[in-house]
Structure 1
Amino acid sequence: MKEVTPTDSEEHVRRRVSEKCSVDESPRFSRQQSFGRDIGHAAAETYLVTRLSFNLLGYLGLGYQWITRLLALACYAMLLMPGFLQVAYLYFFSPQVKRSIVYGDQPRNRLDLYLPPTSDGLKPVVIFVTGGAWIIGYKAWGSLLGLQLAERDIIVACLDYRNFPQGTISDMVGDVSHGISFVCKNISAFGGDPNRIYLMGQSAGAHISSCALIEQAIKESRGESISWSVSQIKAYFGLSGGYNLFKLVEHFHNRGLYRSIFLSIMEGKGSLEKFSPGVRLKDPRVKKAASLLHHIVLFHGSADYSIPPEASKTFADALRAVEVKTDIIIYEGKSHTDLFLQDPLRGGKDELFDHIVSMIHAEDSDALTKDAVAPERKRLVPEFLLKLAGKVSPF
């Protein structure tokens, strides 16, 4: 498969991506080629993750807390495996998923596109940045969200980015910014509406994407050269994020992400302010940049112990203090993973999903009408497994 470079024209981008799905050989040979590519891609990704995992072990050492959490994570994943396998099948074999489009020249500068089943008219776009404690983030973690939003006629671009120890926070923010730029410039080639782009991040991805958004606004307010504009982002959705690193150092240390590791990820104590959006907004010099920000919507579960809901509440206060339109929605009794994993795997009605879709379709009466009669999403995991997973979750 040829790789897409960030300097390609829209038509060139679309043509290169489509090459993986439209070869001239017989259908049988084409399927064999596609399957072989998928196996090769999976093997390459497995090798990368394994290699980085061993590198990470050198940083972590033998710590009791992270070992117990790793075991809990394995149990958690096994309990949710029935749903994960169904999503993985669609991720690898659905023609509506365009995997690993290259958006930059750095390692892991790739994104996955989830396209709606219909191609009538330009579609709204969500750029999604996955979480993973800045260590295990991966674009495929957003596949469930991408597939479900695509069913509602919304294009989703899930960005990958360098994780620690492959990169530190400035690399992650830079990668995400490059990915946003690529989507803004090229999404119309895939049927996306460049005037209806939404940025969303979850957990560590919410922190990284908010840093990229604030940094872009600051550059723009200073008249610096930019490759994309904050004005292109119609709204920002932050899910279960942490936006003040000063308040998270000890919290994460007590939960197994040790202080030394966390500060290494964040490039030392001296960089905590730079990568704390909630703190940067208090700087009077940032007031002009804040005026460029559009609608900010923060979501959090009240029973989130990985990143407490106060993180979103204080960020909302900081945004409102500089007159940024901000909404915050707290879901009672929801944990760090309930909103992003257990609830979507449960099927049926989902408050968070309905909130996001209703905001994206707010100005599209036809889409709202379709949403009102859309079938409920099917259950992917039995309820008793979801409840067990919630009890053993390390998050």
Structure 2
Amino acid sequence: MKTVMLIVGVIVGLALIAGGAVLIAINRNGPAVLDAVDRISGGKTAVQLLHKQSLGDDKRQKLLVYGDPSASKALPVLIFIHGGSWRNGDPDDYGFIARNIAPEGFVVVLGGYRLRDNGRYPAMLQDTAAVTAWVHENIATYGGDPDRILLSGHSAGAYNVAQVALEERWLAKAGVPRAAIRGVIGLAGPYDFYPYDSDSTRAAFGSVGVGAESQPVNHVRGDAPPMLLVHGEQDSLVKPRNTRALAAALEQGGAGVQTLFMPAMTHNDPLLALAHPWRRDPEVIDTFISFLDRNAALSVPVQAKTP
């Protein structure tokens, strides 16, 4: 009996060490590791890469379309924009978003944007709007409904989608009708960070002299698309006050907003919660999918009040 317990203890210990090592690797090497873990642990799905498209001269200006090629009807579309402090990131590393969301009845588009010097404001917004415009013009070819588009992003990507959804000029210039955007989901996003107080925000925004007009919190309007804002209370990189500030402004302005604050989560945890095996704790992904389903309905959605 003692031998059996010893063996069990060793196995459990090794599993814990392996799990800890994976988390360390994800925190150091980011989404590429997370994508590999999800691919191994999530099992097979019918979701496939349907198309890859360049949108500009910069290699980061691209998108990837994922979906089930056997789908028999036009499906709503989720566009996901990656994070990385406007310095790093590649949509090629975010296949786990598509593998976990597309089976719920969506076409998923992973969008990229220019980074570092080439990606200074307003390039990240122009490129996010360009991804959305391409989707609206072309997604029907890949089984998507161009009039049911939802935007989402993590960290810097959450900023991108919130800003283009709230400050109307970006999507208007790109030719995207307001009614096509059915909702926005921000994960651990910076929405109220002026004056700039970090190297990444000073490089991406302060270096070109842009001010308070760059902030999503300053572009709230009553007819904004419904928003779901998710944030970890232990996030020390992008403080939860960003989500609280934007949610309060949206609520005061009469726009629909839902918040989910996770007490034990740090900055990357809301993203981890969308991938296997971390989606075993289902609160984030269940809330994410419920919001998508509710606002991707065929009828035009009614702006929801804060619960």
Number of aligned residues: 271
What one-letter code is carried by the residue in structure 1 that aligns with 2:211? L
Aligned residue for 2:179?
231
Summarize deviations over 1:95-118 as a string: whole Å, max 9, x none.
Answer: 711353123455422101111263
Q: Does 1:169 align with 2:121?
A: yes
Query: How far off its partner does 1:226 sit?
Result: 4.8
Aligned residue for 1:246?
194
Is contact 1:231-1:293 (8 Å) kept? no
Output aligned runs, 1:203-282, within 5 Å: 203-215=155-167, 217-218=168-169, 226-246=174-194, 249-250=196-197, 252=198, 258=199, 262-268=201-207, 270-281=209-220
Query: How far off its partner does 1:233 sit?
Result: 0.4
What one-letter code is carried by the residue in structure 2 that aligns with 1:243? Y
Is contact 2:152-2:158 (8 Å) kept? yes
Q: Residues 301 and 218 of structure 1: is their aligned pair in 2 closer, same or farther, counting only changes over 3 Å?
A: same
More strand per residue: 2
Please give the alpha-carbon distance, in whole angstroms, between the structure 2 residues aligned to 1:364 and 1:184.
Answer: 15
- Paired residue secondary structure (1:345): coil
Is contact 2:32-2:94 (8 Å) kept? no
Q: Does 1:361 align with 2:300?
A: no
- Paired residue secondary structure (1:179): helix
What one-letter code is carried by the residue in structure 2 that aligns with 1:118? S
Q: CA RMSD, aligned part only? A: 3.1
- Paired residue secondary structure (1:344): coil
What one-letter code is carried by the residue in structure 2 that aligns with 1:114? Y
Q: Residues 193 and 267 of structure 1: is their aligned pair in 2 closer, same or farther, counting only changes over 3 Å?
A: same
What one-letter code is carried by the residue in structure 2 that aligns with 1:240? A
Q: Residues 76 and 134 of structure 1: is their aligned pair in 2 closer, same or farther, counting only changes over 3 Å?
A: same
- Paired residue secondary structure (1:165): helix
What one-letter code is carried by the residue in structure 1 that aligns with 2:282? D
Aligned residue for 2:267?
336
Is contact 1:131-1:201 (8 Å) kept? yes
- Paired residue secondary structure (2:270): helix
Query: How far off its partner does 1:82 sit?
Result: 7.1
Aligned residue for 1:60?
none
- Paired residue secondary structure (1:97): strand
- Paired residue secondary structure (1:151): helix
Structure 1: runs of 5 or more not aligned: 1-71, 253-257, 282-289, 366-395
Q: Does 1:184 align with 2:123?
A: no
Query: How far off its partner does 1:267 sit?
Result: 4.1
Is contact 2:67-2:107 (8 Å) kept? yes
Output aligned runs, 1:85-234, within 5 Å: 85-87=36-38, 96-98=48-50, 100-104=52-56, 106-116=58-68, 118-215=70-167, 217-218=168-169, 226-234=174-182
Aligned residue for 2:27?
76
How much identity, in percent, do the aligned residues show? 22
Q: Does 1:299 align with 2:230?
A: yes
Of 311, 330, 334, the residue aligned with 2:242 is 311
Structure 2: runs of 5 or more not aligned: 1-22, 298-307
What one-letter code is carried by the residue in structure 2 that aligns with 1:353? I
Please give the alpha-carbon distance, in whole angstroms, between the structure 1 residues aligned to 2:249 and 2:295.
Answer: 28
Summarize deviations over 1:15-36 as a string: whole Å, max 9, x none.
Answer: xxxxxxxxxxxxxxxxxxxxxx
Please give the alpha-carbon distance, in whole angstroms, between the structure 1 residues aligned to 2:254 and 2:169.
Answer: 16
After TM superposition, the structure 1 stretch with the greater mean CA deviation from structure 2, 144-153 or 173-182, is 144-153
Query: How far off its partner does 1:314 sit?
Result: 0.4
Q: TM-score, normalised by structure 2?
A: 0.77
- Paired residue secondary structure (2:258): strand
Is contact 2:38-2:276 (8 Å) kept? no
Of 343, 350, 358, the residue aligned with 2:282 is 350
Summarize deviations over 1:33-63 as a string: whole Å, max 9, x none.
Answer: xxxxxxxxxxxxxxxxxxxxxxxxxxxxxxx
